[in-house]
Structures are given as C-alpha cells and as structure tokens.
Structure 1
Amino acid sequence: MRTAILIPARDEAEALPHLFEALGAERVRQVVLVDNGSHDATADIARAAGSRVVYEPRAGYGRACLAGIESLRPAPPDALVFLDADDFAAAGQFDVLLRPIEEGEADLVIGEREADAGGGVRWHARLGNRLVLAAMRRLYGADIRDMGPFRAIRWSTLESLKLDDTNYGWYVQMQVRALRAKTRVRGAPVRFERRTMGRSKVSGSLPGSIRAGWVMLRTLVVEAARRDPVGAGTVSREQR
C-alpha cells in the first residue's frame, strides 16, 4: 500500500531533528512537511532530512493540512498518515494505524494516546478532548477514546469527506463527517510521550487548550447541525 506522511509544522526547528532521527530508523514512506509560516529553520531541516516541503504562509492547522493534501493530488497515495512534529513516539507505530486499512477493516484509524500519568497529554488538553468525545459518542455512538492528531485515512475516504476546516477543528470535522457518512472508523492504542523541547501551540498552556477546545466544540456543533451529510462513506462503521 502506497503511503504518505503529512506533517504540519510552524517553528519546529528544535523538535524536527529528533523526529526525523526517529523516522530514519523506520521504513518510512513519502514524507511531506507543510511549513505553516515558520520564522526559524523548520523548512531547511525538513528538506535536509529528505522531506518534501510545502509552504502555506497563512496560519491555521487545517490550512496546513489542506495545502499538504493538495500537493499530493497529482500522484495520491493509497493512505495518508497525519503526524505532529513533536510526536517522537510515532516512529515504529505506523503499522498499528495502517494495518487495519491495508487489510480492509477500516477507512480511518485514530491513534488513541496511552502514556503514564506524568508523560501523557496535559490535564487541560485531556479535559477538552473528553468533552468533545462525550458529545460525539452521544450523537453518533462512536466508541473512540481520543481526538489525537496521529491518524491514518484511506485517500479515497479523505477525498470523499471534502474537509475544509482551516483551524483546530480539522480533526473534529474529519471524525464527524466520517461517522455521519458511516465510514468505518476505528481507534488504535498508541504510545505517546509528552514533548520535551519547544512548546505546543495548543496543549502547552491552559489558554491555548481553552481556545482549541472552544474551536473543536464549535466545529462539532456546526457539523452536527448540517442537513446534508458530507462524504460518500463506505458500507459500515466499525466500533471498538
């Protein structure tokens, strides 16, 4: 199965060498890094590591993802993995997400982050995550335990969802549209380590988590209220 890895990044020059070192030990597929208006050497480091670099100067997590997807359309992969620049534990775990897709068991696989209490997702980020997931479970009955950015999706499914969120509602929109379209969605436990260099734009502070949580909840409300289901979908939804 042809696979590409998409890394949205802004000012991640401190973290990227460690990420690419971890990726270098694996059988890594095509890597696309989207430089989302960095003021440091993010693009240079990625290019030196053999990654294709795409530029999206307009700030926005979703915008960065959309720019990366657009760059892949001329020769699309079979599946696309989304990976944050500070997720050093992801290396060695790609098959956990890709195997269900490759074996025809799922179309979207979301990495459910597991870690010791001291090294996992910060409490304020976990709280916002749980609120959104609880609402999603009530609306769609989906037993997915995380909204983690480390995820893999079949390319044809990705295109059918017609994602257009430009901010941190990107992953909420992806999950909601996939569930509404009765796409086969699964969660898969993945190891997670809290970043030790640089600072997260979202979970690194309480205000950042609150802003991101508000955007995610707003996106959930907007998507749930849509009358027209977006996405062609596949035959059924798998739950854990």
Structure 2
Amino acid sequence: MNQIKVIIPAFNEAESIAKVINDIPKIVDEVIVVSNNSTDQTETNAQQAGATVLSENRKGYGYACLKGMDYISKLENKPNIIVFLDGDYSDYPEELTKIVQPILEDNADFVIGARVKRLRENGSMTNPQIFGNWLATTLMKFMFQSTFTDLGPFRAIKYDKLLALNMEDKTYGWTVEMQLKVLKQKMTYIEIPVNYRNRIGVSKVSGTLKGAVMAGVKILGWIFKYSFK
C-alpha cells in the first residue's frame, strides 16, 4: 500500500488554505501545512480543514519544506511518496492523482506539474515568472541535457529519493535545487501538464519586485553552482 503525504508551505493563506486541503484527493493519508510565520488565520483554518499544522518561524519556502520533512522523518511509518503543493489555490489539488500516477504505475522517481500555457489562466503567471522559468529551464537543457520546461511547485517524489537529494536551500531556490539534484543523480523524471489559475491573495515572490529579483538570483546561483561541479 503506497502511503502519500502532502507538504504545503503557507504564509498568510487564510483565505485559500481550506480550499486547497478540501480539494486534495482521498488517496492522501496526511496533509501537512507548515505555517511560515503566518500572522492571520492560516493555522486555525488549516486545522479545521483536517490538516496537521506545523509552525516554522524562519521565513523562507525551503525552511517550511524542510520543517515538513523533519516531521515526517520522526514518524514510525514513513510514506512512499511526498507531494509538495502551494497553499494559494493556484494549482488544482484534485490533479494530484495525475501527478503521482507516473510514480505508482511507471516507477518514475520524480514528477513535476508543468504549468503549460494552454492550461494557464490569463494573468496566473507574471512576466518575470514566465521569463525566469524559460531562462532556468533553458540553462538546464543546455548544461545538463534536461527536458524540464517548468519549475512548478506542484510536484511529487519518492520519499527515499527525496532523502537522497539532501535538500539544503532555505528560501527561493528550493524548486530548482531539487530539479538540479534529480538531474545530477540521474533519477528518472517526467512532467505532467497541469491547470493553473490566478492565486487567492498576493504572491510573496512574483508579486513584489524584491521577491522576483531574489528568486531569480537564487535560481541562477544554483544552476551555475551545479554546472561547475
């Protein structure tokens, strides 16, 4: 029996978090929401929706993901698959079954939900996001012969493979670090096209100039670091 756990990093997602949790398919046996220093009702709303709620006061997407992984590492029964999902309702949580299918049926190690243009709602990705994705995936293709087209946050990975990646990034570089390490360790991966809509609330990364710049610097830093390893 495959056990699936979902980790959702969340910073002030009170309006959306319950919607995300409620739309997650029943094949998931635990939803873990990591409140990343939220100051609104994110934690309360997530608990009421049935999630396990953790707190991580150090600001950063990677910090929140690592907190969720630390919690799982202490469980007696470890999952087979970990799914990462944002808490802003921009992804369609019900598509989780599509994301895990290549792992369950084809033994893939890692799956990304690719936010392809034809399935994206107008305005759901900003121009800096679209350009950053293109630049990062183009560099990965050039340097590592990768076939990635997106750094999408909706992703699934075998738990043992996730541990083997030895994830480090604490902030904006988490997604690209994971993909680079998958490439370096020659894990099997696939992209599955997913729908994507305008998020509820304001993005903490692409919604601010500082966030967009910092994310870009982090992403490029990881790519060039690994290109010379």
Normalised to the residue count of structure 2, the TM-score between the two structures is 0.92
How do 1:1-240 and structure 2 match up within 5 A?
1-23=2-24, 26-73=26-73, 74=75, 75-114=77-116, 115-116=119-120, 118-195=122-199, 197-226=200-229
Query: Is the contact between residue 84 and residue 150 of structure 1 (CA under 8 Å) also seen in structure 2?
Result: yes
Q: Distance in 1 between matches of 2:120 and 2:79?
A: 34
Return the alpha-carbon distance in structure 2 between the equivalents of residues 125 and 104 of structure 1.
Answer: 31
TM-superposed deviation, 1:26 = 5.0
Q: Distance in 2 between matches of 1:105 and 1:194?
A: 32
Which residue type is aligned with residue 181 of structure 1? Q
Secondary structure of the residue that 1:129 maps to in structure 2?
helix
Q: Is the deviation greater in 216-225 or in 8-17?
A: 216-225
Deviations 1:7-31 (A, max 9, x none): 00111112213323433x7544310
Matched residues in 1 for 2:30 and 2:61: separation?
A: 20
Q: Which runs of 4+ in 1 moved over 6 A?
A: none
Shift in alpha-carbon separation, 1:49–1:117, aligned structure 2, 3 A: closer
Contact 2:121-2:197 at 8 Å conserved across structures: no
CA offsets 1:76-95 (integer angstroms, 9 cap, x no match) = 21000000001354222111
How many residues are matched?
224
CA contact (8 A) 1:26 1:91 kept: no
- Tell me the distance in 2 between the aligned counterparts of 1:88 and 1:171: 16
Q: Which residue of structure 2 aligns with residue 232 of structure 1?
A: none
Confirm or deny: 8 A CA contact 1:147 1:172 kept in the other structure. yes
Per-residue deviation, 1:98: 0.5
Measured in 1, the distance between the counterparts of 2:78 and 2:226 equals 27
Q: Indicate the SS of the match to 1:132.
A: helix
Q: Tell me how far apart the structure 2 counterparts of residues 208 and 89 of structure 1 sit (CA, whole Å).
A: 20
Aligned CA distance change for structure 1 residues 116 and 57 (closer, same or farther; 3 Å): closer
Q: In structure 1, list runs of 5 or more residues that go unmatched.
A: 227-240
Query: Using the alignment, how far apart are the partners of 1:111 and 1:129 within structure 2?
Result: 13
In 2, Cα distance between the equivalents of 1:83 and 1:43?
A: 16
Q: Structure 2: any 5+ residue segments left out of the alignment? A: none
The secondary structure found in structure 2 opposite 1:198 is: coil
Alignment partners' CA distance in 2, 1:172 and 1:181: 14
Say whether the 8 Å CA contact 1:90–1:150 is kept in structure 2. no
Larger deviation, residues 149-158 vs 201-210? 201-210
Helix, strand or coil: the match of 1:188? Answer: strand
